[in-house]
Amino acid sequence: MESNSFQHFNDSQAGTDEGQIDIAKYLKLLRKYKWGIITLTLLGTILGALIVYAKTPLYRATCQLVLESQMPKLPTVEQILGLAAQDQAYLQTQYQIITSRGLAEIVAKKLNLYDPDKVDAGVQDIVAQASDSSIIDWFRDAFPVLRQRGQHISLTAEERRAQAAYALLGNLSVTPAGQTKIVNISYVSADPEMAAKIANTFASAFIENQMDSSMEMTRSGSQWLFERMNVLRNNLQAAEKKLQGFLEQQKLLDIGGGVSQFAEGKVSAASVELERARGEFAKISKRYGPKHPLYIAALADLNIAGNKLKEGKSEIRAINRKEVELRELRSQVDSDKALYDVFLKRVKETDQSLGLNKAQARILDPALRPLAPFAPNVKDFITMSAVGSFMLAIMLVLLNESLNKTIKSTSDVEDKLGQVTLGILPLLPALKTGAGKGFPMLNPDNASFAEAVRTIRTGIVLSGLDNPHKVILVTSSVPGEGKTTVSSSLAVALAQMENVLLVGADLRRPSLNGICGIQAGVPGLSELVAGSADFKTCIITDEETGLNILTGGMIPPNPLEILFSERFAKVLGTLEKYYDRIVIDSPPVDAVSDALVLARFAKTVVYVVEADKTPEAVVKHGLKRLSHHHAPLAGIVLNKVNIKHSEYYHGYYDKYGYSS
């Protein structure tokens, strides 16, 4: 129960640690690569300083302009609510006008920028910057087709104007001053006087262009009003003529009461006359008969009065129809006259406003010649170069660490390989020989190396107290990791306590002779297994260390068959009877299968890994091969560790005074 609880605690603690940032790890990386980081930062800072001092100083002059929008003196409620939006739209429009190519061409014309015969000496650099074709020439040199197409191109007058305009606009900036109607027109140039001159020219050109545009709009409006007024005058005259012709044709009198008043009077008189005739006829008809002359005369008067009434009514109906048409003609005349009067009044107002136009902008503060350049900012540029170089160095360090899939420390051995670390050996500057020998253990300058080897020796001896590891196999993943140095040094350390034999079992690329100081051609393992030499001839005893050495001897054509033979097993069994420890220097595991064969005879296997060089995948593959053959792996020896970068090694051994 306690074991399960302890395991649960460890798992929880591990999960918590994985979610945290290991600050100490990154601090170690900074200390490890501190000189590289410092060097790159210094180089970047120096390069930034060279660049900033090589740049041409630039001056910026600013002219302040006040923009005043046209608004009615007594705005309506709708205009008051939309005043801010109207002002913003108006100001944005003016900004675009200031930065337009048309206004820039006006400025270029004022400064004579695009006329080669009249161009001012102070502004030639502006056109030169615009016509700088170094990049274009590079492309033309790189691509002959572009060079052939561009050989016969010549700029027209319009293109030269546009070129000068774009050169001006490239260094021009227009920015509003907060929420006000003040706008800053700034120009950047290498010449402070020209910077102020061009900024002021842009401001004055904008004001002049605004006045010219206003005058042109007023003039165009006045011309249109005149043309429209002439049309209206002609329409009025035609309507009046049509009205007069209608009156004359219909023989009507256009008086205030209307032309129908006469007809109405006649009808009224006819009605009265008809009533009188009816009354007279009624009296006579009662007194006289139909044949009486008075009766006949009264009846005739009655008929005449009735006919007059009918004729009057018919005339009224005809006159009513004519009066409708007359009213239409009169209405057309009145509307044409009213419209004509309106346009006539507007024309008079326009004539008066032609001389009263004023610009809706004015210069608040003209640009002055700047006394100091604004760019480049030497202090900020150098600071940014230093910071950028430092950050780049940090990124390169992190990138190198993320891409570096090697075994660098004891924690990598435990975490990535899942193995025990027998010890770590420092990187030796060179294998200096002592007393004619190449043993690093014998060099007094390698005190820390010797102590590290003795630590490995102690670990191997203590791990086999009950069952001593008599045959120790030393191997590695690939050549060049220092396994021969480790095996020979371990043998020397063991020889200080026991009777030890060092066997050079690398029969393909033997290197034990050079380290042990033995000349080539001395018979060794190959001759001993083959039976061409005896033990006394092949085994050499080093007088200074007491170490017995059996080199590989002559390189055989079939090394694997020799190691796999029964004679090799018998030879190794015989040697075990005479020596307390046998250290075998074998070939690398991933290179050949010799180490796998030798592992059958070993009581323990020491696996050498070169720190910060051998890839993790290669080491895992070698360990996997040994595991498949049930090799008794004792642990990992991390070799060639840079003590300047290894905090564990340097701090541990300095504590006891072993580091050189």
At residue 641, φ and ψ (nearest 5 deg) are -80, 130
Lowest mean pLDDT segment, chosen from 130-144, 238-252, 290-304, 642-656 = 130-144
pLDDT at 163 over 50: yes
The mean predicted confidence, pLDDT, of the chain is 77
pLDDT at 355 over 70: no
Residue 61 corresponds to which tokens in the numbers above? 């002059």
pLDDT value at residue 473 = 94
pLDDT value at residue 608 = 94
Closest alpha carbon to 312 in 258, 269, 342: 269
Residue 142 corresponds to which tokens in the numbers above? 């790189």
How far is residue 551 CA from its own chain's centroid? 64
**Which residues contact residue 421 at a Cβ distance below 8 angstroms, ignoring those fewer than 6 apart?**
410, 413, 414, 635, 636, 637, 638
Q: Which superfamily, per CATH, for 410-425+435-655?
A: P-loop containing nucleotide triphosphate hydrolases (3.40.50.300)
Please determine, looking at this structure, whether the domain spanning 221-353 carries the CATH number 1.10.287: yes
Amino acid at the residue 583? V
Residue ranges of alpha helices (H) inside 546-615 are 559-564, 566-578, 594-598
Each residue's pLDDT tens digit, 201-241: 999 989 888 887 777 766 666 677 677 777 777 877 787 77
Q: Distance between CA 649 and CA 646 in Å, rounded?
A: 6
Helix (H) or strand (E) holding 605: strand 604-610
Q: Where are the domains of the chain?
A: 59-213, 221-353, 410-425+435-655
Token pair 């033309």: residue: 140
Each residue's pLDDT tens digit, 293-344: 777 777 777 778 777 767 766 666 666 666 666 677 777 777 777 877 777 7
What percent of the chain clears pLDDT 70, i.e. is strictly above it? 74
Amino acid at the residue 276? R
E-state strands within 35-99: 59-67
